Amino acid sequence: MIRLKSPREIEKMRRAGQIAAAARELAGKLIVPGATTQEIDKKVEAFIRSQNAIPTCIGYCGYPAATCISVNDGVIHGIPGKRVIRDGDLVKIDLDVGFEGYIGDCAATFIAGKARCDEDVRLLSITRQAFYEGLKYARPGYRVSDISAAVQRFVEENGFSVIRDYVGHGVGKEMHEEPEVPNFGRPGHGARLVKGMTICIEPMVAAGDWPVKVLKDGWTVLTRDGSMAAHYENTVLITDGEPEILTVPEPEV
């Protein structure tokens, strides 16, 4: 069942989103050659807790960390550990923040140090823009698959592939709510978007083919062909007009 959010609930989600976006921004600054993924995770966790919020990834289905950090051919759900970030690595940070019972969810991909090649830079740019192509359809009257089709069309027109095994989703009191929001499909299908829905649009894009594999840890998802991958995500509120991105940092005064 899709849960529409009240103005009171939206305010809490807006605050959760602000904290999540600020944590994502912090992570981007911490992603430098020589840092370990665990060091980044611990600093982001400390920041989230300093905001009187909860890193809701911890313990979710047994997940052991505050963030998911995936490197290079890692798509999503990489577990932070002793891995040292190297110059040119593509590092994906995905995190969820709980505030007064409501969740903000966002992700982004960063290049550590200097990019290895122009294609890596283009992969990040296309993945981020694919989110905004989907966002154009995050309005009342459209259907979920209108978002999906827009993401797929843009990614494939630019020579990349959308990951099909994992999808965006609704979000609110739970990290994953209905509806699912795939990054592929034909337009005109799925739930109709209405005011008060909160969804995560999150293109996951591979430089090569789209099939993936999961490592023995049960979490880490890699591209099967070893190609580079990127991920970009925001929590979005469906309004009666322009969609609102909830995962934006609090404005500086």
Neighbours of 1 (CB within 10 A): 6
- Residue 11's alpha-carbon distances to 5, 8, 239, in angstroms, are 10, 5, 13
pLDDT of residue 251: 63
Backbone angles phi, psi at 143, to 5 degrees: -110, 160
pLDDT of residue 253: 40
Q: What is the pLDDT along the chain (253 residues), one digit of tens a residue?
A: 999 999 999 999 999 999 999 999 999 999 999 999 999 999 999 999 999 999 999 999 999 999 999 999 999 999 999 999 999 999 999 999 999 999 999 999 999 999 999 999 999 999 999 999 999 999 999 999 999 999 999 999 999 999 999 999 999 999 999 999 999 999 999 999 999 999 999 999 999 999 999 999 999 999 999 999 999 999 999 999 999 999 998 665 4
CB-based contact 103:56 (threshold 8 Å): yes
CATH 1.10.8.50 fits 7-243, yes or no: no
CB-based contact 80:40 (threshold 8 Å): yes
DSSP, residue by residue, the chain: -PPPPPHHHHHHHHHHHHHHHHHHHHHHHH--TT-BHHHHHHHHHHHHHHTT-EETTTTGGG--SSEEEEETTEEE-PPPSSPBP-TT-EEEEEEEEEETTEEEEEEEEEE-SS-S-HHHHHHHHHHHHHHHHHHTT-STT-BHHHHHHHHHHHHHHTT-EE--SS-EEE-SSSSSEEEEE-S---SS-SPBP-TT-EEEE--EEESS-S-EEE-TTS--EEETT---EEE-BEEEE--SSS-EE---PPPP-
CB-based contact 151:184 (threshold 8 Å): yes
- Residue 41's alpha-carbon distances to 66, 68, 69, 94, in angstroms, are 6, 8, 8, 10
Calpha distance 228→126 (Å, rounded)? 13
CB-based contact 41:69 (threshold 8 Å): yes
Q: How far from the centroid of its chain's Cα atoms is residue 192's Cα?
A: 22
pLDDT of residue 252: 52
Neighbours of 52 (CB within 10 A): 10
Beta strand 244-245 with 204-206 is unpaired
**The total number of residues written for the chain in this structure:** 253
Domain boundaries, the chain: 7-243
